[in-house]
Amino acid sequence: MNSKFQKLINKYKPSGSYFVYKDEKLVFNEYFGYQDIEEKIKFNDQTLIRFSIYNNLIVMVSMMQLYEKKQFKFSDKISKYIPEYKEGNKITIKQLLQHQSLIIDFFSGHIMKEYIKTSSYNQMSFVDKARFEILNSTKDYKANEVIDIINQYELNKKPGSEFEFTKTTPLLVSILVERISKTSYEEYVFENIIKPLDLEIHTKSINEASDYDQTDDTKCFKVNISNESKKYYLLETKEYIKIFNGIIKNKIITKESWKIMTTFKEDVGIGVYGNEEIELSLGFGKHSISAIYNPKLELMVIFASNYEGDYILEHGSWFYFESEAKDLITNNYIYPNNPYIEKFNDKNRYDFYDIMIKEEQEKYVPNVYKCIAYSYKKKDNYNYVLKDYGVPIGMFTLVMNKKNKLFEIRFFQIDKLYQNRGYGKIMLEKAIEILKQQGAKKLEIGLVAENIPAYKTYKSLGFLETDVSSDFIMLEYEVSYD
């Protein structure tokens, strides 16, 4: 994996680190790039990355701890605890925790809008504007300030009708924690999260990584976040496993609370995101710490960076680096175990879009986006995804027209990361089984003559040629009901 990962680092040139844990044991980690570009200080095992205690994950964990003590109900209106918010009687705590309150973002929806109107802001350079926004977004806003702002706006949508992520939500949740626990939020987090996890907190910022953002032409610039804020703690990156494991392995919340947090709707849980792969995120300023956890594999990958820009040089965002790196790491642990089929639906559509074939294979079969678009228009076409360990492995389309006795397999493809592992044959067998259940007696499949690997797979299961030309082969399969 080292050589492949090095190619990825050379491609994106990110700054940060990653840690791979299998069955709770560290199996690999690496540091790359710079904690300070100008001073040429490389990211290392003593580099400090900060996380905010007002982060979405931390505030939600705090609330779940209080829920375990039966100190509130999800059905409670937030006005019960924040009576000064005039729209609070329309929103339940559960809607707030699930990002469905639809309260305005106090920062981007009000504070920045007001700044943008000023002449001083409009006279700033692009870099100064970006730096100004980052620095103002990390200020210590008081509860009364935030409530005064959101009280200026009525809800224009019904709470619970859709998801919307705002800076308002974690701040309001932190107010709930204070008022329900009758303890300051900072003290609550220290006593109930920091101390129980025995986190090694650093009070001096000597090795703190600088923050970097980028201009519109992808050049990076430094942002100096104030170290006077009470919002954050400094940790070495290896310490973050304690937080993530503390949550997932039920050291600071119960198994029942974790189950509630990971009951996803449209990939959104309480403080976490995903579905079969779960993402937990921390960070403050331009520092980013995220963990991707696959419970079926018992695999966790933690990424930390001081440069969560939209672009990393000219090669794409930190998000793309993180996504490719996660796939590369996960790929090392996935071989056929308990693969299963899912039919295309709104919940799993992104699983399909994750499937990528090799570039040279696109002359044999269209990419997933084209396959979905084509079959979506056809009445008797149905798309399926093969998954293992919750990870999308491949996809195919079935044509099932009982009236005309037409049954076909189309757009058969395995993700480039999982080819040559036996998944093609497994997926084909499952496709045949579905068609068999529909009463098919004969199946057809066509392929480009150059697609030798697919041809061999079909032949191994008993498909026979019915039409062969120099560039295309049609195959047929007699379904057995023995």
Q: What are the tens digits of pLDDT across the range 198-212?
A: 999 987 778 899 888
What are the tens digits of pLDDT across the range 439-467?
A: 888 888 888 888 888 888 889 889 999 99
Q: What is the mean pLDDT of residues 278-307?
A: 91
Instruction: Grade residue 313 by pLDDT with cuts at 50, 70 and 90.
Output: very low
Question: Into how many domains does the chain fold?
Answer: 2
* pLDDT, the chain, mean: 89
111: its two tokens:
């504070």
Report which residue type is found at 424: G
Residues with Cβ within 8 Å of residue 198, at least 6 apart in sequence = 242
H or E element in which residue 375 lies: helix 368-376
Angstrom distance (rounded) from CA 455 to CA 340:
23
Tell whether the model's pLDDT for residue 44 goes beyond 80.
yes
Angstrom distance (rounded) from CA 278 to CA 393:
18
Q: What is the pLDDT of residue 177?
A: 98
Angstrom distance (rounded) from CA 15 to CA 33:
4
Q: The domain spanning residue 83 has which CATH number?
A: 3.40.710.10
If asked whether residues 278 and 348 sit together in one domain, one would say: no
Distances (CA, A) of 183 to 91, 102, 203, 253: 23, 27, 23, 19
Selected residue with higher pLDDT from 59 and 218: 59
Q: The domain spanning residue 415 has which CATH number?
A: 3.40.630.30
Write down which residue in 331, 355, 371 finishes a domain: 331
If asked whether residues 233 and 94 sit together in one domain, one would say: yes
265: its two tokens:
């709707």
What is the distance in angstroms between the CA of the first residue and the CA of the last residue of the chain?
45
* 3 state SS of 158: coil
Q: What is the mean pLDDT of residues 466-481?
A: 88
If asked whether residues 152 and 261 sit together in one domain, one would say: yes
> 289 phi and psi, to 5 degrees?
-130, 125
If asked whether residues 235 and 374 sit together in one domain, one would say: no
Q: What is the mean pLDDT of residues 273-295?
A: 90
If asked whether residues 459 and 362 sit together in one domain, one would say: yes
Instruction: Kindly report which listed range (218-222, 289-293, 295-299) carries the lowest average pLDDT score.
Output: 218-222
Q: Which domain holds residue 375?
A: 340-478
Q: What is the pLDDT of residue 217?
A: 59
Q: What is the pLDDT of residue 314?
A: 44
Tell me the range of 78-92, 224-238, 355-369 where mean pLDDT is highest: 78-92
For the chain, helix (H) and strand (E) counts, in that order, are: 16, 19
Q: What is the pLDDT of residue 349?
A: 85
Q: What is the pLDDT of residue 228?
A: 65
